[in-house]
Structure 1
Amino acid sequence: MGETRPQLHGAEYSVYLRIARLALVEKEVAYDLVPVDIFAEKIPGTHLERHPFGKIPTFAHGDFHLYETSAITRYIDEAFEGPPLQPAEIQSRARMNQIISIADSYVYPQLVWGLYVECIEKPKRGEVPDEGRVQKARGVALISFAVLAGLLSEQRWMCGDRPTLADLHLAPMIHYALQVPEVRAMVANHRNLGDWWQRVLALDSFRETQPSP
């Protein structure tokens, strides 16, 4: 099965597609990227067969099909040779999974949709940001960065010589969030977060998977 070239379906702009791409690049797995725009007027029926909820990414490895990014990245790590993307020690691995859950539950909906989309994307389209949503997202962002800074001080394995799935999961979300000036100011209050981000920027995989403008 390892010799089968996997396929990844989705759009370059997607945070979650990029997470899966980062995992593939870190494992040095050659793959085919199949474009799917879920914001098109009509989602192709073939995509709904791959993902009944109409989201991205989806993944295929031979006859094996998978959706949900955390499942995809864990499969990539375990199905292919290359440097491991999950800590071997059980408590560190549990902490990694906790950080991924924090990213999915709080960072993505609030920092990406609540701040980046509201403060950056909507004005570009001539739309007025939802101030209530921005205010809520701002509060969650402050808590999120404080929590992540604390975890970073404890987890020396995060974005060390070998990035983990936690690093790869957070990085595309933070990439969008940092385009909001007040988010950059929040990160500046936590030196270890800034140091972590510089290590992320130095990853070849992060540069290789940069979305097109």
Structure 2
Amino acid sequence: MSGSDPAPGSSPDDGPGDSSGGDPVVYGAPSSVYVQAVRIGLSLKGVAHRLHEVDAFARPQAEWFREISPFGKMPAFRHGTVTLYESRAILAYVDAAFAGPPLVPEDALGAARVHLVAALMDAQAYPHWVWGLYMGRDGRKPAGEMARHRAAALTLRDALNDSAGPFLAETAAPSLADCLAAPMANCLAALPEGAEILAPGTPLGRWWQIIREIPEVARHLD
């Protein structure tokens, strides 16, 4: 599902296009959880943007994309003369550069909690929820490896259950942490493990029921 169309006249890997018209451009595959996270952040801030699709599996990657994202990671981002890569850096820029609801609280403890959960998404949720359980579904990875991912996923569940309410990091509105978490939880929800980790009635389960219904979030979840 996509909340905005690719840049007019563009197709995957046909060049970076033009971002001088004012709207930011997100470069990447619409199914990427990190591309979705950045687009959710932009939508929560009320920022119109364009998605320029990049083939996630193209090898070698297009030279123009490597110039924007030197490690070849998605998403990359352009706003006028500003070019960035790495989703958390992009979200930090979006939060500071545009009006709209803040994605990070102003108080020191609130900001620290958001950055803590965001770090957990990168360090724990992505490798275990997404790359481990989701990518390993249907017997694609050895049983021992899957057991390790399940154990780590349950540990993360317990940590997040301590901080969820109503949004992750104990915020009253969606934050940068929720932007990152929602696409990863969406992968988890498609798996049998999701029924346990996102169980209704638990703090994390209640968060998932709320976040997935927010239009600015739902429109970007695959």
Provide the secondary structure at the position in 2 that maps to 1:22. Answer: helix
Other-structure match for 1:85: 103
Instruction: Give 1:102's aligned amino acid.
Output: L
1:201–1:207: 8 Å Cα contact kept in structure 2? yes
Helix, strand or coil at the partner of 1:53 = coil
Deviations 1:95-137 (A, max 9, x none): 1000000110011001111101101xxx3xxx64322221110
Distance in 2, Cα, partners of 1:113 & 1:59: 23
User: Matched residue of 2:26: which SS?
Assistant: strand
Deviations 1:184-209 (A, max 9, x none): 12332861111111110221112221
Task: Kindly provide the amino acid, as one letter, of the partner of residue 161 in structure 2.
Answer: A
Counterparts of 1:67 and 1:52, CA distance in 2: 9
Matched-pair contact (CA < 8 Å) for 2:169–2:177 = no
- Could you tell me how far apart the structure 1 residues matched to 2:144 and 2:64 are? 38
Which structure 2 residues correspond to residues 1-213 of structure 1 after superposition, within 5 A? 4-119=22-137, 123=138, 128-152=140-164, 158=170, 160=172, 162-188=173-199, 191-211=202-222
Amino acid at match of 1:77: D
TM-score (norm 2): 0.85
Distance 1:57 1:22 in 2: 13
Counterparts in 2 of 1:89 and 1:165: CA distance versus 1, 3 Å: same
Three-state SS of the structure 1 residue aligned to 2:55 is: coil
Question: Higher helix share goes to which structure?
Answer: 1
**Matches of 1:37 and 1:155, distance apart in 2:** 33
Unaligned runs of 5+ in 2: 1-20
| Residue type at the aligned position of 1:14 | S
Tell me, in whole angstroms, the C-alpha distance in 2 between the residues paired with 1:177 and 1:201: 13
What SS class does the counterpart of residue 198 from structure 2 fall into? helix
Structure 1 residue 158: Cα displacement: 4.2
Q: Secondary structure at the match of 1:8?
A: strand
CA distance in 1, matches of 2:180, 2:168: 17
Residues 1:44 and 1:182: Cα distance change in structure 2 (over 3 Å)? same
Query: Does the 8 Å CA contact 2:186/2:221 hold for their aligned counterparts?
Result: no
RMSD of aligned residue pairs (Cα, Å): 2.1
SS of the residue corresponding to residue 177 of structure 1 reads helix
Q: Give CA deviations for 1:137-166 in whole Å, capped at 9, x if unaligned.
A: 011011000000012259787463x31111
SS in 2 for 1:34: strand
How high is the TM-score relative to the length of structure 1?
0.88
Structure 1: 4+ residue segments shifted above 4 A: 153-159
Give the SS at the match of 1:188: coil
Q: CA 1:158 to 1:151, structure 2 compared with 1: closer, same or farther past 3 Å?
A: closer
**Structure 1, unaligned stretches of length 5 or more?**
none
Letter paired with 1:8: V
- Do the aligned partners of 1:158 and 1:164 also contact (CA within 8 Å) in 2? no
Q: Whole-Å Cα distance in 1 between the matches of residues 140 and 122 of structure 2? A: 26
**Contact 2:26–2:76 under 8 Å retained in 1:** yes
Say whether the 8 Å CA contact 1:92–1:155 is kept in structure 2.
Answer: no
